[in-house]
């Protein structure tokens, strides 16, 4: 029998989650000590890529290949929802930018916020909103034409660090449908589970309260207003065990 791991050595966590697209299996090395939720989210993006790849492969095999291509920024003008962990993650990314680039991105965030408030979105709540109301809000947001602050030359300037909602939004309907989602139905690759939802539930579990979503264009303001929670550290193994329990429950639900 192996003895206890040396102090400071990574701990191992075995995962075995069966999804409709196949199994997520492996041994994960969990770093010792604590981890902020932003760091935890950043470390999960490769897992999300794996889940997205499995789903996209299944759709392609069924005759529905992904139609997204570089240079089409239609989805970068939608109301992208983030988990709190990913809002803090993006704030970390922006804080690490060189000064000139950081100022340019912050200016775009400020312009987007101003347009949203002038359009009355500050008074439109997601609380208790039904599916139809959420769909109307999404269409109204899209029609404002507010580009993601990270969009440059119709391409994502933080593509390797983009949040899970962006990774998971892959169209299989004709590409030009995305330019007018209110009148032409956009069909997306169905995911086994939403990383955004799972991370939101994890944040609610460890911080208390209800799961919440943060619009990307307001993420930096939200992260600043919740700076203290974002600075908290949690045992990395506890975060992993809690998260994979949430994810396993999500993929086990019927579509």
Q: Output the pLDDT for position 19.
A: 92
Q: Output the pLDDT for position 110.
A: 95
- Residue (of 197, 224, 226, 218) closest to 121 by Cα position: 218
Q: Output the pLDDT for position 162.
A: 96
Q: Output the pLDDT for position 143.
A: 82
Q: How far apart are CA 64 and CA 50, in angstroms?
A: 19
Q: Output the pLDDT for position 176.
A: 75
Written as tens digits, the pLDDT of the chain (255 aa) is 333 445 567 788 898 999 999 998 888 888 888 999 999 999 999 999 999 999 999 999 999 998 887 777 778 888 888 999 999 999 999 999 999 999 999 999 999 999 888 887 765 544 444 456 656 777 788 888 888 999 998 889 999 999 999 999 988 887 777 777 667 788 889 999 999 999 999 999 999 999 988 889 989 999 999 999 999 999 999 999 999 999 999 987 544
Q: Which residue has the tokens 């809002």?
A: 87
Domain ranges of the chain: 36-50+67-232
């Amino acid at each position: 029998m192996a003895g206890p791991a040396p102090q400071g050595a990574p701990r191992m966590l075995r995962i075995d989650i069966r999804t409709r697209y196949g199994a997520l299996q492996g041994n994960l090395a969990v770093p010792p000590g604590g981890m902020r939720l932003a760091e935890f989210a950043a470390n999960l993006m490769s897992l999300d890529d794996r889940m997205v790849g499995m789903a996209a492969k299944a759709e392609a095999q069924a005759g529905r290949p992904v139609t997204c291509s570089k240079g089409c920024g239609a989805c970068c003008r939608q109301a992208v929802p983030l988990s709190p962990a990913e809002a803090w993650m993006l704030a970390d990314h922006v804080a690490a930018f060189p000064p000139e680039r950081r100022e340019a991105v912050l200016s775009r965030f400020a312009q987007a916020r101003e347009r949203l408030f002038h359009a009355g979105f500050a008074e439109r709540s997601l609380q208790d909103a039904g599916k139809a109301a959420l769909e109307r809000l999404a269409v109204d947001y899209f029609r404002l034409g507010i580009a993601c602050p990270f969009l440059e030359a119709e391409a994502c300037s933080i593509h390797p660090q983009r949040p899970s909602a962006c990774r998971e939004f892959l169209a299989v309907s004709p590409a030009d449908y995305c330019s007018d989602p209110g009148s032409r139905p956009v069909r997306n690759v169905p995911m086994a589970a939403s990383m955004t939802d799972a991370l939101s539930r994890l944040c609610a579990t460890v911080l208390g309260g209800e799961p919440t979503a943060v619009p990307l264009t307001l993420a930096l303001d939200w992260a600043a207003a919740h700076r203290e929670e974002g600075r908290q550290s949690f045992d990395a193994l506890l975060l992993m065990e809690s998260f994979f329990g949430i994810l396993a429950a999500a993929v086990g639900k019927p579509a």
